[in-house]
Amino acid sequence: MVQEGNFLLDNKNMFCNDTGRIMTGKHLNFLLPVLNSELFFFAVKHFYGGGGLGSTGIRMKHTFFENFAVPKISSEAQKPFIDLVDQILEITSTSDYNPKNPPVKQKELEKQIDELVYKLYDLTEEEIGIIEDSSKE
């Protein structure tokens, strides 16, 4: 049960699953921001997961979202996503990082990722508004 996306990238082979999902395969630096996006959380909560838990939570089971379509795009088109992920990983890898109080810069980068994801799925301003309003509930 989660209140936000919680997919993690493990580049150090620690395989610790205290707070996130373990993903393997190709293009993980591209998939990570899509799966942690507001759009994905909204889709799981409203379409794939059978509804929310309480006012803000959802049950995050892979069987609920294994059919979530992620567009196949070129490596060049993936680059903006990957660059933003790399910047966030740099912020979160510092010894003084506190996930309960993430820096403003991280939130700004996450917002940029959401905007890229909205463009990836060709969402309208109205659709984006619905998703973002839902995250404030």
Instruction: State pLDDT tens for residues 86-135.
Output: 999 889 888 888 878 889 999 999 999 999 999 999 999 999 999 998 87
pLDDT at 2 over 60: no
Cβ proximity of 36 and 8 under 8 Å: no
pTM: 0.80
Tell whether 65 is covered by a domain: yes
Q: Rounded distance, CA 36 to CA 113, Å?
A: 9
User: DSSP 3-state assignment of 27?
Assistant: coil
Residues 5-48: tens digit of each pLDDT: 566 666 666 655 555 556 677 888 898 899 889 898 788 777 76
pLDDT at residue 35 in the model: 87
Tell whether 16 is covered by a domain: no
Tell whether 20 is covered by a domain: no
Tell whether 82 is covered by a domain: yes
Q: Rounded distance, CA 24 to CA 28, Å?
A: 7
Tell whether 35 is covered by a domain: yes
Long-range contacts of 99-107 (CB under 8 A, 24+ apart): 99/19
Tell whether 21 is covered by a domain: no
Domain span at residue 55 reads 28-135
Domains contained in the chain, number: 1
